[in-house]
Amino acid sequence: MTDTTILAGDVRPQPATLPTRPYFSSGPCAKPPGWDAAQLPTESLGRSHRSKIGKSRLATCIDLIREVLEVPATHRIGIVPGSDTGAVEMAMWTMLGARPVTTIAWESFGEGWVTDALKQLKLDPTVIRADYGQLPDLAQVNWDHDVVFTWNGTTSGVRVPDGEWIAADRAGLAIADATSAVFAQDIAWDKCDVVTFSFQKALGGEGAHGVLILGPRAVERLESYTPAWPLPKVFRLTKGGKLVEGVFKGETINTPSMLVVEDTIACLEWGKSIGGLAGMKARADANAAALDRLVQDCDWLGHLATDPASRSNTSVCLTVEGADADIIKRFAKLLEDAGAAYDIAGYRDAPAGLRIWCGATVDAADITALGPWLDWAYAQAKG
Residue 1 has pLDDT above 70, yes or no: no
Are 310 and 161 within 8 A, CB to CB? yes
Q: Are residues 210 and 352 in the same domain?
A: no
The CATH number assigned to the domain holding 157 equals 3.40.640.10
Amino acid at 123: L
Q: Are residues 188 and 145 in the same domain?
A: yes
Q: Are residues 29 and 163 in the same domain?
A: no
Q: Are residues 97 and 189 in the same domain?
A: yes
**pLDDT-based confidence at 12, cuts 50/70/90?**
confident
**pLDDT number for residue 10:** 55
CA angle 198, 199, 205 (to 5 degrees): 155
Cross-strand partners of 104: 128
Share of the chain above pLDDT 90, in %: 96
Are 173 and 194 within 8 A, CB to CB? yes
The mean per-residue pLDDT over the stretch 223-238 comes to 96
Q: What is the number of residues in the chain?
A: 383
Mention every residue, 6+ apart, whose C-beta is less than 8 A from residue 250.
55, 56, 57, 58, 59, 61, 62, 79
Residue 96 has pLDDT above 60, yes or no: yes
Q: Are residues 50 and 76 in the same domain?
A: yes
Are 199 and 207 within 8 A, CB to CB? yes
Four-point Cα dihedral 327, 333, 337, 339, nearest 10: 100
**pLDDT-based confidence at 383, cuts 50/70/90?**
confident
Q: Are residues 301 and 255 in the same domain?
A: no
State the Rg of the chain over Cα: 21
Q: Are residues 179 and 196 in the same domain?
A: yes
| pTM of the model as a whole | 0.95
Q: Are residues 331 and 248 in the same domain?
A: no
**pLDDT-based confidence at 2, cuts 50/70/90?**
very low
pLDDT digits (tens, 9 = 90+) for 298-340: 999 999 999 999 999 999 999 999 999 999 999 999 999 999 9
Which residue, 328, 310, 309, is CA-closest to 318? 328
pLDDT digits (tens, 9 = 90+) for 72-90: 999 999 999 999 999 999 9
- Other residues' Cβ atoms within 10 Å of the Cβ of residue 241: 10
Give the β-pairing of 174-177 and 194-198: parallel
pLDDT digits (tens, 9 = 90+) for 18-69: 999 999 999 999 999 999 999 999 999 999 999 999 999 999 999 999 999 9
3-state secondary structure of 295: helix
Q: Where are the beta strands (DSSP E) in the chain?
A: 4-7, 10-13, 76-81, 101-105, 126-129, 146-150, 152-153, 158-159, 174-177, 194-198, 209-214, 238-239, 242-243, 301-303, 315-320, 353-357
Residue 3 has pLDDT above 50, yes or no: no
Domain-terminating residue out of 271, 305, 321: 271
Q: Which domain holds residue 305?
A: 4-33+275-382
Q: Domain tally for the chain?
A: 2
The CATH number assigned to the domain holding 339 equals 3.90.1150.10
Q: Are residues 248 and 378 in the same domain?
A: no
Q: Are residues 172 and 88 in the same domain?
A: yes
Q: Are residues 22 and 49 in the same domain?
A: no
Q: Are residues 245 and 105 in the same domain?
A: yes
